Structure 1
Amino acid sequence: MLLENLKLFLRIADKGGIAAAGRELGLSPATTSERLAALEGHYGVRLFNRSTRAISLTEEGRDLLDGARRLVADSQVLEDRLKRGVDSIAGPIRLSAPLDLGRARLRAALDTFLDDHPDVTVDLHLSDGYADIAAAGFDLAIRYGDLKDSSLIVRKLADNARILCASPGYLDRYGAPEHPDDLAAHDCLLMRFGEDTDRFWPFRVDGTVRRYAVTGRRTANDGGLVRTWCLEGRGIARKSEWDIVGDLASGRLIPLLRDFEPPAVGLQVVFPKGRSHVRRVRALLEALQSEFRKG
């Protein structure tokens, strides 16, 4: 309301009369006077000298005049910028994604998106740990598996299998496990997500998904480092298929225990309510869905 009263103050100063300013804004004389009195009460000063024949700015009114013009102009610029973000594909987007996926798959997709939309900027945050999406101010986040925060909107991008794998060199030295029980004799490469370490790997055995405790000498919160260790033959890893699809195709990594693999989980994009109404965010959401439909 303060901003609207400042606009009224400027109109009175420009028109040289309270009644004339009120008519131009569609306000009754009583309402115009009440709003001017409220503005003067807010600042604790009189803004106009009034007489039966004329109105003029007080010294305090003249001090306010330039500042009020700047405030109203700045508010209009801000309003226009925000509306452009809703009505056009322009403005900033904050995106969160897992490390490996961001480097291997999202980078090229974002480059294409930004080439297509030169008025958009993207701030990409890569992390394999937990992030409070709403509190951190992200417009979109890409996540694996089920979501803990039910207040977020979920859109599935693709199915995602977690594949047990090792390098040919590791398998030459230590052999390949033939059953999940055999993992107890292997050095497993463990991922840490926030404070939780992925020490229990699920497998489907006799039609039931069971979790097997695994151990290893290397643990990291960086999926890229776990992949590097695996490629170097340091142990067996459990990686998202999206992170190692190229390694599997080239033979740099060998899939293991596929007959015991549990059902795939979802790769999904999540966002706070209302963000998909912003055109730039909706455009990126659609671009991501299109990217992962390619397989």
Structure 2
Amino acid sequence: MRSLQDLRIFIETARQGSLSGAARQMDLSPAAASAAIKRLEAEIGVPLFIRSTRHLRMTHQGETFLGHCQQALQLLEDGCQAVQTGQTVIQDVLQLSMPSDVGRNLLLDWLDEFLDKHPRIDLRIQLSDRLANVYRQPVDIALRYGEPPDSSLIAVPLLPDNRRVLCASPEYVQAFGVPLNPYELEQHNCLCFMLGEDVHGRWHFWQSGQEISVKVRGNRVADDGEAVKRWALAGKGIAYKSRLDVIEELRDGRLVPLCEDWETERTPFNLICADRRQFSPAVQALREFLFSRLDQYLHEA
């Protein structure tokens, strides 16, 4: 392009809807503004505006060109700011899928902090316990517990040592007693999580290197992790939840851990995407932020 100023005049003309308005805003003569538009049209070979003596209307080509001009000038401004301050300005749209329980009760507030640090990132969130199809759905990355079912997906650990916690409310324990070992879960009302058509109704534990698998039953099953936690808090049964989901309730005594001398299932918390090329600066910044925030959160007194 002959001049960045011509691009700025074009953008301002589109914003004002008139050459005279753009000229006044930029302290130019109408003739100078008109000449800038003519230079741009000659260079790219298409009309940007349809003019009459009283009206100015942008062409379809002009509307297309406008979006690219705005992005180009924004990138230039970001580059100037990065050079001047020594910091990189991250601008992107992140489409993120995350689980319902930890998403609503923990991550949403943290993501507000993240956006405060990166105000030019736009966030689009899907809250669901179903693993989003990162190949077909409009999702860049997913935050999920456990290893991805598709081995071709890329899983980056955010909390690799996260485990499940067997827990119930004090009211449930007072009413129905404490299971002394996982085998006694068969005598209790167990609150189960369902993913798709599969009910997580077989719970695994380890002690002295030996694994046991207990088939549990209960009168409540949900495909929403937050619903399972609410039932546990209401004293409706025993839950086998991710520690990350229930750490606040364990800390304040609304839930109590059970069978603590048994090792529980690993459920690592991962950032998942389809291709490493999706690790844009925005995704990398989010990964670093969440990794640090999770570590801080789990070690709070």
| TM-score (normalised: structure 2) | 0.70
Question: Counterpart in 2 of 1:101?
Answer: 102
Which residue of 42, 61, 64 corresponds with 1:14?
42
Alignment of 1:202-241 (within 5 A): 202-241=204-243
Measured against aligned partners, the alpha-carbon deviations of 1:44-67 in whole angstroms (never above 9, x if no partner) come to xxxxxxxxxxxxxxxxxxxxxx65
What is the Cα deviation at residue 101 of structure 1? 0.9
1:194 aligns with 2:222: no
Measured against aligned partners, the alpha-carbon deviations of 1:231-273 in whole angstroms (never above 9, x if no partner) come to 1110011111111111111111110112222353311111232
Question: Could you tell me how far apart the structure 2 residues matched to 1:99 and 1:226 are?
Answer: 11
SS in 2 for 1:224: helix
What is the Cα deviation at residue 134 of structure 1? 2.7
Question: Could you tell me how far apart the structure 2 residues matched to 1:75 and 1:180 are?
Answer: 61
What is the Cα deviation at residue 179 of structure 1? 1.6
Select between 83-92 and 267-276 the one with higher mean Cα deviation.
83-92
What is the Cα deviation at residue 95 of structure 1? 1.0
Question: Counterpart in 2 of 1:49?
Answer: none
Q: Which has the higher contact order (CA 8 A, sep 6+)?
A: 1
SS in 2 for 1:111: helix
What is the Cα deviation at residue 192 of structure 1? 0.7
1:286 aligns with 2:292: no
User: In 1, are the aligned partners of 2:152 and 2:274 still within 8 Å (CA)?
Assistant: yes
Question: Could you tell me how far apart the structure 2 residues matched to 1:250 and 1:73 are?
Answer: 55
1:145 aligns with 2:146: yes
Question: Could you tell me how far apart the structure 1 residues matched to 2:64 and 2:211 are?
Answer: 62
Question: Could you tell me how far apart the structure 1 residues matched to 2:233 and 2:137 are?
Answer: 34
User: In 2, are the aligned partners of 1:180 and 1:212 still within 8 Å (CA)?
Assistant: yes
Instruction: Flag the 1:156–1:171 CA change in 2: closer, same or farther, 3 A.
Output: same
Alignment of 1:29-108 (within 5 A): 68=61, 71-77=64-70, 88-108=89-109
User: In 2, are the aligned partners of 1:129 and 1:193 still within 8 Å (CA)?
Assistant: yes
Question: Could you tell me how far apart the structure 2 residues matched to 1:244 and 1:287 are?
Answer: 21
Aligned residue identity for 1:106:
L
Question: Could you tell me how far apart the structure 2 residues matched to 1:221 and 1:70 are?
Answer: 45
Select between 83-92 and 188-197 the one with higher mean Cα deviation.
83-92
What is the Cα deviation at residue 208 of structure 1? 2.1
Question: Counterpart in 1 of 2:180?
Answer: 178
Question: Could you tell me how far apart the structure 1 residues matched to 2:195 and 2:72 are?
Answer: 40
Question: Counterpart in 2 of 1:33?
Answer: none
Question: Could you tell me how far apart the structure 1 residues matched to 2:173 and 2:135 are?
Answer: 44
Aligned residue identity for 2:291:
Q
Instruction: Flag the 1:67–1:205 CA change in 2: closer, same or farther, 3 A.
Output: closer
Question: Could you tell me how far apart the structure 1 residues matched to 2:98 and 2:227 are?
Answer: 16
Question: Could you tell me how far apart the structure 2 residues matched to 1:272 and 1:78 are?
Answer: 26
Instruction: Flag the 1:83–1:98 CA change in 2: closer, same or farther, 3 A.
Output: farther
Question: Counterpart in 2 of 1:248?
Answer: 250
What is the Cα deviation at residue 88 of structure 1? 4.1
User: In 1, are the aligned partners of 2:202 and 2:215 still within 8 Å (CA)?
Assistant: yes
User: In 2, are the aligned partners of 1:130 and 1:194 still within 8 Å (CA)?
Assistant: no
User: In 2, are the aligned partners of 1:88 and 1:280 still within 8 Å (CA)?
Assistant: no
SS in 1 for 2:147: coil
Aligned residue identity for 1:231:
L
SS in 2 for 1:135: coil
1:124 aligns with 2:125: yes
Instruction: Flag the 1:109–1:174 CA change in 2: closer, same or farther, 3 A.
Output: same
What is the Cα deviation at residue 190 of structure 1? 0.7
Aligned residue identity for 1:293:
D
Question: Greater helix share, 1 or 2?
Answer: 1
- Between the aligned residues of both structures, percent identity stands at 36
Question: Counterpart in 2 of 1:24?
Answer: none
Instruction: Flag the 1:154–1:85 CA change in 2: closer, same or farther, 3 A.
Output: farther
Aligned residue identity for 1:178:
L
User: In 2, are the aligned partners of 1:201 and 1:212 still within 8 Å (CA)?
Assistant: yes
- Which is higher, the Rg of structure 1 or of structure 2? 1
SS in 2 for 1:258: coil
Question: Could you tell me how far apart the structure 2 residues matched to 1:98 and 1:193 are?
Answer: 12
